[in-house]
Every structure is written in C-alpha cells, then in structure tokens.
Chains A and B, each alone.
Chain A
Amino acid sequence: MKAADQHARIHAIPSGFSRRHLLGIEGLSASEITYLLDLADSYVDLNRQINKKLDRLKGRTLINLFFEPSTRTQSSFELAGKRLSADVMNMTVHTSAVNKGETLIDTAMTLNAMRPDLLVVRHSASGAVQLLSEKVDCSVINAGDGAHEHPTQALLDALTIRRHFDRLDGLTIAICGDILHSRVARSNIYLLNRMGARVRIIAPPTLLPPEPERFGVEVFHNMREGIRDCDIVMMLRLQSERMTGSLIPSTREYFHYYGLDREKLSLARDGVRVMHPGPMNRGVEIDSAIADDRAVSLIHDQVEMGVAVRMAVMDALSAHLRNDLSKEI
C-alpha cells in the first residue's frame, strides 16, 4: 500500500486520538496507542521514500523548547516537523538555579504570544511540561520531564518491538538499569503493560523507586534471573553523576552485575533483541560486542522509528489544533 493511501485509511477512523497534548503515556488507552503506532508505521514507509515530505503541517509553527540539552531527541523532533512541512524553531534555554518556576511560565507566556501551533518541551523537573501546557494555547508534546515521562520514546520503542515481533502482547520485556531516575522506564512500563506485555525491571535496590512492584511489574535484583526467557532486553543509560558514590560503588561493579554482555544475554530466549534509548555508556551498562551486533541490537531501528513516531504524534495532534485549516479562508 502506498503511504498516501495508508494515511487516507487511518485518517478515515474518526477520533483515533482526540487529545490536545501528549504529556505522558499513563492514562492513554490501548486504542489510542495503537492508533499512534499504526499512523507511525505509515510514516516509516514515507521516510524510506526519496520524497519524504508531506504538507500536513504546512503553515504551522513548531517550537522545540529544550530546557535540558539534547542532540538526538531535538533533531528527531526537528526532522519530524520539517518532513511534515512545519516551520521549526529550536530554542535551548539554560535554566538558572533560582526562580525556575517563574522563568518557566515567563518563557511560556512569551512563546505563546508568538502563536506557535506545536510546542515540544523537555525539562529537568518532573511536571514542568504539564505546568507549561496549562499556560499556553497550543498543543504541547512532552519530550521528557524529569523522572516522570518520555512518551515519544516509549512509542518509538513499542513501534520498534511491534515491527520486529508483529505484536506487543504476550512478550516478556526486561527493563534494566537506573529505573529510579528514568522517565524512559516509566513511560515504557505504562505502555507495555497497557498493551499486554509482561514487564520486568532489573536494578540494584538503590536504583529502584520504593515499592516498585506497584507499577505492575516483576522486580529482579539479579540480572541473570531477570533476563531469563526474555524476548527483549531494554537497557537504560546510567547517568554519569550516578556512576560513583552513594547509589552504586563503581562502574566496574555495576558492569559486573548489571552490564549486558554475551554471557548474561545467553540466558534470554532465542531470538532475543536488545534495545537502548541512547546515548550508550559502552562498558558500563552494555558491552560493545552486543551494542554493535546488528543481529541482536535494535538500537538503530529505534532511532529510525523515532522520527516516524514524532511525525505521527504531530499529525494526530494537528487534527485538533485551534484554527483548523478547513475553517480558514
């Protein structure tokens, strides 16, 4: 099926996704997630064509507002916006320690006055994106807020898995690493649980939130046990500031017990695939021999799916933007 035909089919479904913002995965229904994944699937095909451009956001303004530096996520959003013909502006704001809340709202009001249609926001404080969304008139996409959520990452991970295994339900997926501080882990847990996968989390007790089983996951402290019979091993990045000191003693010990190497991976199911949201700390959470092995690693697919998923999210939100194009003269 041609990409354009697929769009026609998917857009024919009324209110597949009728929200104004995408702030998180928690609270999304399975049908909303499926709708976004189906739409993203069609954009994967588009992105593999020579002409990758559609007019769906023509005339729209997209602002990437990043309060935390990011290269890959920001460029992924930028490319997604451009492929849908939006005018894209990148803003990286260096937050000062004082008066963060005030600055955030001031910035939001300033930007709002410029009348953007879509605002992509990343912030180091959990809940900051939602706070901002309450102050602006446009649609807001959460590109990561603190240790809360990173919904487009979870969607792109799900799309990667679904394209490889043709399903999400019934798969056993282990998320391993710094769960405590990870927004990627939280969004993935919500999404995978919602879609019927069996989710395990693997981490030392110091890198887990209290009562982690309340997330509806199986909790393992021993990676060898946790990885057993898994279809997917999803590694998380260990933030450098946590590498030495009070949460784990050293990268050497961390790799010994929680680094993914061939020996530990051999305990997983045949056909297991490895994922990582990037950027990787080679030799800390993952052995290069695995990261670079295209036979088991889906890491590059994740990056490709990222653009398609972000296009799908922008597309879905644009259907509900104020000043709907059809009402214009």
Chain B
Amino acid sequence: MLVPDPEQIAYVNARLIDPASGLDAPGAVVTLGGEIQAVGPNLFPEGVPDDFKMIDCAGHVLCPGLIDMRVFVGEPGAEHQETLATASQAAAAGGVTTIIVMPNTAPVIDDVSLVDFIKRRSRDTALINVHPMAALTKGLNGEELTEMGLLREAGAVGFTDGRRSVTNSRLMRNALAYASNFDAVVVHHAEDPTLAENGAMNEGELAARLGLNGVPSAAETIMVHRDLALVELTGARYHLSQVSCAAALKAVEKAKADGLNVTCAVSAHHLCLNENDVGEYRTFFKTNPPLRAENDRHAMVEGLASGAIDVVVSSHDPQAPENKRLPFADAAPGTVGLETLLIATLEQYHAGHMDLITALKSLTSSPADILGFPVGRLKPGAPADMLLFDVDRPTVVDSAQLKSKSKNTPFDGRRFQGRVLRTIVGGKTVFEDDQSDARPN
C-alpha cells in the first residue's frame, strides 16, 4: 500500500504504454520527487486518497519521455540558430525529455572542459536532460583520437564526428578499438565523401532533371560495409547515426544476424518524405543524408516495424534563413525536428505500418538501452521522465509556432495526428498544452 507523501503525484486514468516491458493497459503512475514510485492498472482499487496531488490523464497515453539521440544545437558558437535553452523548450514541446547533443559546435566538443561547459549550461538553462556526445576525432578532423576515457568520465555519453564521416579506415579501426576499451558507443555518419562530393540531393531522375549533383545511396552503403567489417575486427559497439537507403539497412540487418554489436537509427523525415518532396528546389527538404527514393522510404518504414531499425531520431539541425535562402546546391542541409519527432513517427502507426508500442519503443527504451540510461521506461525507481499525449488528435504544423529558434521544418502545413499534452522531467511538468486550437469533436 502506498504511503501518502506531499511530494507524490498520481497520474490517473491513463493508457499506460511501457515499450520496455510491453505494457499497454489502463492504469496509473505515481511519482515521488524525481522518481517513478509505482506503475500499474490497480494502484488505487479504492480510489485515490484525498491527500494525493492528482493529474487526470483522461484516457490518453502516458509513456516514458522521448529520447532523441541526434540533436545539433548552436551552443557554443551559433547561438543565433539555437541555444541549449531554446532546444530544450522545443524538445519539451515535442515530448522529448532527453536529448543527445552533437559535438559539431564552434569550438568542437573534443575536450573535457567543453563537455563540462555543455553540462553546466544545460543544468542552468535547459528544461530537460541534455547529454553531450564528444567528438570521435580531435577537431572532427578525422586524424587523431580524442581522449575518450577522460571525456567519458567527464560525462560524454558516446563518441561521434556528428555529420562528418571518418574516411581513414585505419583511424576508424583504432577509434573503434579504443572506444571498446571504455565500452563506449561509437556513432558514425556513414557517407563516402568522395562519392557525395558536391551532391545536393539523392542521385536519380529528379536530380538529373533539376540539374543538381546527386549523392548515390552507394555513398552510404560503401561506408556502412566498411564500418561493419571494422566492427567485426574490433568487437566495438557501433551505432549508425542515420540509415537512409535499403541497401545499407540490409547490411546492418545481416551484421545483427551475425551477432555484431550494431544498432542504427532513422530520422523521422526519412520515414515521411522522399526525394520528390524537394520539388522546385525547396531547400527545407535538403538533408544529409538526402531524402531518398520511395522504395528506400518504404524499406525504412518496414525496417522500423520489424526492429531492424532500432531508433528514430529527429536529426534536429537548426539553420538560420541565410543558410537556407540560397540556390539549392549552396544551401545548408538540415531540418529542425524536435517538435515533430513524435507526430512524424506516429504517422507510421496511423498508416497501419506498425503498432503503437513499436513506434514508441524506438523513441524510448531502444535509445536508452544503447546509451545505457535508466530513463525510457515506466518502472518503479526509474527517473520520472514521462510524456502524456493524445494519439489521435489532428495537428497542423505551423512553423511560426515552433519553439525552436530556427524554423527550417520540412513539415510546415502538414497534417499529422497526435498531440503532446504534457511533458514531465524528473517529476516536474516542463510543458503543458494550452489547448489553444482545441475544437469540439
């Protein structure tokens, strides 16, 4: 029996979904301070005692808060595009309670003091949990290893060169071997830069008609095959930061079947969009890797449904207008995505490609397992990071309403189903829907 405590909050009348345990049932959650104290369908057989603070979930989904493994911020160095504070507000509005920030800043996060900086700024300014990934190579130059041991002790949760690929295979081998010493995950953006050079979009008929240089999917496939061969050699933990084409996914599936310690993610926009969305040189649809062919998009959706793809990321990459209002080939790639991560992923559920628990797993327990985090599950003792959302409610994305400092979303005006009602971090509500566009059903 639960002993009442002023720090306790009861979230009642919820549809509980906990992908880690497979739970999908009506019930309640009780938090005590920053932790989940109890979870279950029959917590209050005799009604909630009067001395509990109670939140009525009205039958909506209460699940672990989302974890976004791939977020670029502009702090330090490009605060006009995004700060840790504004990224955290966008995350909270999107139901994301933990973000992993990439080291591609100025200066690059390749030193213990910069890991400290990110942690301190996040603690002081962010609404949600922020964890830095440190650079795999010094200055992201692909030539020298970073101090992975000391960086990890300082709080780096993994190592990556972010949007850059390590082309030197010998160095990649050493990086994987060295990281394995600390059981650290190496996260790699797989793209052969010589094949991708000057490429602006997916190589294909549309690129040819538009007169744009294409990036063939082979640029990704080649690098993934190389990486997997090196993982086999070193026994390291490897996470492919974004898979975008069917052939690369097939290679990852085979590696998993062979027992290698390999995981991969897909970005939400690669689940929803294809190369044709580029249309008339629309730079908000310029991404890296590029939006691929429709059969590749299908493969991504199927891979997510089957479990071949572990994680969905936003690949949130804020770009100021001056970086996007340029001829397509000159424009910077990247889209913001923290606020659309959930609803873009839910689109796959609403379209009947997968059940809800599978879709949510890729945003909660799967990334938590890869990172070794205790969050991402509804379990007594776990941190009280949770998300309450309406799974069916129609939503129209309005880029002007985004909390992110940069508005470069490819989904402006797009209709989705699903709406975040409340985001809870460490037992505290950090976002609550104002119901401004609520319409009677």
Q: CB within 8 Å of B: which residues of A?
A: 204-206, 210, 221, 244-250, 252-253, 256-257
Contact = CB atoms under 8 A, between A and B. Distances in A.
Contacts of A252: 147, 150
A205 B177 CA distance: 6
B393 interface: no
A249 B181 contact: no
Contacts of A245: 143-145
Contacts, number: 46
B114 to A, nearest CB: 15
A59 B319 CA distance: 83
Given A204-B177, A204-B178, A205-B181, 20 more contacts: A204-B181, A205-B180, A205-B234, A206-B177, A206-B178, A210-B233, A244-B144, A245-B143, A245-B144, A246-B143, A246-B145, A246-B170, A246-B171, A247-B145, A247-B174, A248-B145, A249-B147, A252-B147, A253-B149, A257-B149
Which 3 pairs across A and B sit closest by C-beta, in order of nearness? A205-B177, A249-B145, A253-B147
A249 B181 CA distance: 13
Contacts of A253: 147-150
Contacts of B171: 246
A248 B147 CA distance: 8
Contacts of B181: 204-205, 221
Interface residues on B, range: 10 to 19
A212 to B, nearest CB: 12
B156 to A, nearest CB: 13
Given A204-B181, A245-B143, A245-B144, A256 B174 contact: no
Nearest to A203: B181
A244 B171 CA distance: 12
A206 B234 CA distance: 9
Nearest to B235: A205
Nearest to B153: A256
For the residues of A in contact with B, the DSSP-based class is loop
A205 B146 CA distance: 15
B150 A256 contact: yes
Contacts of A206: 174, 177-178
Nearest to B177: A205
Interface in B104-155: 138, 143-150
A246 B174 CA distance: 7
Contacts of B148: 249, 253
A250 B147 contact: yes
28 contacts: A204-B177, A204-B181, A205-B177, A205-B181, A205-B234, A206-B177, A244-B144, A245-B143, A246-B144, A246-B145, A246-B168, A246-B170, A246-B171, A246-B174, A247-B145, A247-B174, A247-B178, A248-B178, A249-B138, A249-B145, A249-B146, A249-B147, A249-B178, A252-B147, A253-B149, A253-B150, A256-B149, A257-B149
Contacts of A210: 233
Contacts of A204: 177-178, 181
A249 B143 CA distance: 10
Contacts of A250: 147
A67 B174 CA distance: 30
A210 B232 CA distance: 12
A246 to B, nearest CB: 5
A262 B52 CA distance: 55
Interface string B208-245: 00000000000000000000000001100000000000
Contacts of B174: 206, 246-247
B94 to A, nearest CB: 35
Contacts of A244: 144
B99 to A, nearest CB: 26
A224 B145 CA distance: 23
A240 to B, nearest CB: 15
Contacts of B145: 245-249
A246 B145 CA distance: 6
Contacts of A248: 145, 178
Contacts of B180: 205
Nearest to B172: A246
Interface string B179-207: 01100000000000000000000000000
A249 B144 contact: yes
Nearest to A210: B233
A225 to B, nearest CB: 12
Interface string B160-177: 000000001011001001
Nearest to B179: A205
A29 B240 CA distance: 51
A206 B180 CA distance: 10
A29 to B, nearest CB: 36
A210 B181 CA distance: 14
A204 B178 CA distance: 7
A205 B144 contact: no
A318 B247 CA distance: 67
A206 B174 CA distance: 6
A257 B150 CA distance: 9
Contacts of A256: 149-150
Contacts of A205: 177-178, 180-181, 234
A178 to B, nearest CB: 13
A246 B171 CA distance: 6
A133 B216 CA distance: 55
A108 to B, nearest CB: 34
Nearest to B144: A245
Nearest to B170: A246
Contacts of B233: 210
Contacts of A249: 138, 144-148, 178
A196 B171 CA distance: 38
Contacts of B138: 249
A21 B42 CA distance: 83
A304 B32 CA distance: 68
A205 B235 CA distance: 10
A252 B153 CA distance: 14
B378 to A, nearest CB: 35
Contacts of B168: 246
A45 to B, nearest CB: 46
B138 to A, nearest CB: 8
Contacts of A257: 149
A284 B400 CA distance: 55
